[in-house]
Structure 1
């Protein structure tokens, strides 16, 4: 109980939220790192998954290859990158490691979503004279969007939790709160940092759930219109 009380005192102390090493700055760094890695992961994974899902070729191989990344610990990838020439380029080792970690759920969910679209609907669209790109963006993608967004949500939450490894590479983010707590032998600070990461992950989860609920009525209107 004393640890919980001390953790609450640490979190409610305004001095811990301001300054160069304050929680406010670390939170902004954490969010920025998450957004950058998520954007890069989407740029790399989604076009490949959508095209392969549309064509129905090569997707299984791509998904299986991407899933190999789940078996490799992000920390191990980060250490290897830090020991390589890439390690001299600031945040890039952390960004690369996190992007590799986020690609599998994005690629898998987008591909499965595209392949799950009713074949009769696709044939009907083609029978109406739609081109391949029109069928992809106006028929298949809207129907696959819920599963695509699920992949983005999973990747975002995983990135929030895993971005704490940036502190091990000398980067910023909420992981610095935790590592500083270990260095100071301050259990309340370590617990406070873990709580902040958990709350941020829950907030991101909530944002995506709200987005899903907001998009659901619009998708229903399109399908019944």
Structure 2
């Protein structure tokens, strides 16, 4: 059976239209896991990255530690989380947050560090406090870099969230893992294609956000 036949078989299956194994339901589960993981990663990594980027302290250490953290095997973290916390949301969230947080930490830190020094000096010169400089100058300047980091983290998390099915939490990984377990290659390939399409859609969405993120005044200053 060729690829097109497998895809036709997968998408024409009535179970893909209705019920707990439908495409809409599985995509919703996948987005829920991914969104929750990204939310926790943003809360944990972005404030710290903004602070370190503004003060200029430990920026090199942040990059080194983030690179090391991204080398951690996600499936190994899932297995460890299951052993420690048991089967549940934690077993999926921990490795996904660990995957996304380093990317966001570096993006926040480097985005703020790249702020034009003349803009920062001018802001301080007109009497703005450090907090005001950070919020009114540095963060708007860093926003495209932050969004680029969020895009990378989102795509990585969406692609890796297939591990959720290993602990019975559903998502698009249910098609991939379930298909491999039963040698239902139509289901495996269909699930993999949906993950790819979801990742591509995420890329396109963030591309639009990044294009229009920087205020016009700061965009002219950058140019």
* TM-score of the two chains, using structure 2 as the length reference: 0.93
Seen in structure 2, the aligned counterparts of structure 1 residues 222 and 61 have a Cα distance that, compared at 3 Å, is closer
Deviation at 1:18, TM superposition (A): 1.4
| Aligned residue in 2 for 1:102 | 100
5+ unaligned residues in a row in structure 2: which ranges? none
Equivalenced residue count is: 221
Pick one of 89, 109, 112 that aligns with 1:111: 109
In structure 2, the residue matched to 1:26 is: 26
1:143 to 127, 135, 141: 141
* Correspondence for 2:74: 74
Let me know the Cα RMSD of the aligned residues: 1.7
**Does the Cα contact within 8 Å between 2:56 and 2:113 map onto a contact in 1?**
yes
Asked if structure 2 preserves the Cα contact closer than 8 Å seen for 1:87 and 1:93, the reply is yes
Aligned to 1:157: 155
Contact 1:3 1:187 in 2 (8 A): no
CA contact 1:27–1:174 (8 Å) conserved in 2: yes
* CA shift for structure 1 position 223: 5.2
Shift of 1:215: 2.6
* Residues 52 and 109, structure 2, Cα contact 8 Å, conserved in 1: yes
* Maintained 8 Å contact 1:56/1:115: yes
**8 A contact 1:16–1:22 mirrored in 2:** yes
CA distance in 2, matches of 1:140, 1:208: 20
CA distance in structure 1 between the aligned counterparts of 2:126 and 2:148, rounded to whole angstroms: 30
| TM-superposed deviation, 1:132 | 0.7
- Over 3 Å counting, the alpha-carbon distance change for 1:19 and 1:149 in structure 2 is same
Contact 2:26 2:170 in 1 (8 A): yes
1:171 maps to 169
Please, what TM-score do these two structures have when normalized by structure 1?
A: 0.92
